[in-house]
Chain A
């Protein structure tokens, strides 16, 4: 009987030692392996399976992605996992649109990485805009989406549309609505819509009580009027010469005395056949490569 007990103890010890050895060997062998993020299952499947727990599932997906981001190797290509990250964030957003952290994380880590990732972030922000209308961060989402459009995707027209839509919302935050309307005007000016922009600015001046803002808008109205004069000069040049000028300097001195100087507020850009007013970009900022 005692012999059996000792045999059993010996066998258990051998098994434990063997397990420990294999464990240590496994840890050593797999140390250099790069951990990749796993894609989340399809959102419809998760909606059915998780039921009442779908919100926690979305939060768990977010936590998984956030922890993964913290554990990335230094020499790992940041775009290597972008596609899976975007898919997982989108799944979390579709499962639980009310959870704000997903939008902020997606904007921080994916927007500006490349065109595809930026567009996916904008799709998520579009969901936020539609579902988070009473959220205290409700103006952040259209701002991010518009910012991504004009900064990363070079799509000022779409950015202007987003800001214009936001400015028309029924909301008590009038200052925020005016901010978006102003942004929309400036971006429309980048697309050459100078006359419409001027009219909107004049309306903004009448509806604004803040004297500092009023002064700023009036200064911009003056610049818009000068830009419109340049546009008119271009039309006159075309009427006489049946071609557009190669550069705006060709308009001097027959059509214009001098090109207006907008200091650092605007840049006058000639994009035949329209004259555009652009906001100066930060030095070295190149947006994303278009695919």
Chain B
């Protein structure tokens, strides 16, 4: 079973590596991260914080481009170009296909994040050495945690893209749905904060409704660990355990639903 999963994943990895657009994205992101050396020139005091925010945000931006412009298309192409039928004609079950594609794309994402994380580390380390007075704390474990958090956000979005690809045909509708989902996840915490403790909650349980919505649109900001890179103290072990526990359960549920949808779906 794992052999088949990895075989499908390897196909996606090779396909991704062959695409010049992805190589271009990696090179562009790499160049932008090195450009962080120039960005920090504009910051008089909090250089460490601004530089680490810049590095991680470039990583996030690259990840989003990869997700919304490559991953969405991968699921759509397999159907449009009928390659899905070729794959499923071999003894590859539909759920193996789904998980295999997910594994392949998440491996590509991991490679992208590792390259950018290493480049970012080099940039931040150089700034930390040169401007120690303004960049006193560079917490490497927290830096690693920040990239892990970003990767978790990307994996959750990738799972959602896979789910929407199973529900809807065509790359563009999946792109729109995925973007809308992401914007809802980003905006819902802001709306919840805005309506917390308001008098309207006494007439209509808006607070509870918004909390219920957050079950389906999780707060991705909980995986944003950028701010602790320049701090000695980070998040507590309990909070981290809860965050990553939610992440794993989310992946299992969404991928499980996706597999179930592909199992029942008419692929013609």
The chain A residues found within 8 Å of chain B, CB to CB, are 44, 47-49, 51-53, 55-56, 59, 62-63, 66-67, 98-101, 104, 134, 136
Contact = CB atoms under 8 A, between A and B. Distances in A.
A47 to B, nearest CB: 5
Nearest to B51: A59
Given A56-B57, A59-B50, A59-B53, A48 B190 contact: yes
A66 B50 CA distance: 14
Contact of B57 (A55, A66, A67): A55
Interface stretch (B72-80, B123-131, B170-178, B219-227): B219-227
Nearest to B190: A47
Interface in B13-49: 42-46, 49
A61 to B, nearest CB: 12
Contacts of A101: 43-46, 50
B186 interface: yes
A51 B188 CA distance: 11
Given A48-B187, A51-B186, A56-B53, 11 more contacts: A48-B183, A51-B183, A52-B60, A52-B153, A55-B57, A59-B50, A63-B42, A99-B50, A101-B43, A101-B50, A134-B231
Contacts of B56: 52
B219 to A, nearest CB: 11
23 contacts: A44-B190, A47-B187, A48-B186, A48-B190, A49-B183, A51-B183, A51-B221, A52-B56, A52-B57, A52-B150, A52-B153, A52-B186, A53-B57, A55-B227, A56-B54, A56-B57, A59-B53, A63-B43, A67-B42, A98-B49, A101-B43, A101-B45, A104-B45
Interface centre among B43, B220, B231 (most CB of A within 10 A): B43
B233 interface: yes
Nearest to B58: A56
- Mostly helix, strand, loop or mixed at chain B's interface? helix
Nearest to A48: B187
B248 interface: no
B247 interface: no
Interface of B: 42-46, 49-50, 53-54, 56-57, 60-61, 136, 150, 153, 182-183, 186-187, 190, 194, 220-221, 224, 226-227, 231, 233
Nearest to A59: B50
Contacts of A67: 42
A100 B221 CA distance: 21
A269 B22 CA distance: 74
A49 B53 CA distance: 17
A99 B57 contact: no
A99 B46 contact: yes
B46 A100 contact: yes
Nearest to B137: A136
Given A52-B153, A56-B54, A44 B49 contact: no
A5 B247 CA distance: 62
Given A53-B57, A56-B57, A134 B233 contact: yes
Nearest to B149: A52
B61 to A, nearest CB: 7
B60 A53 contact: yes
Contacts of A99: 46, 49-50
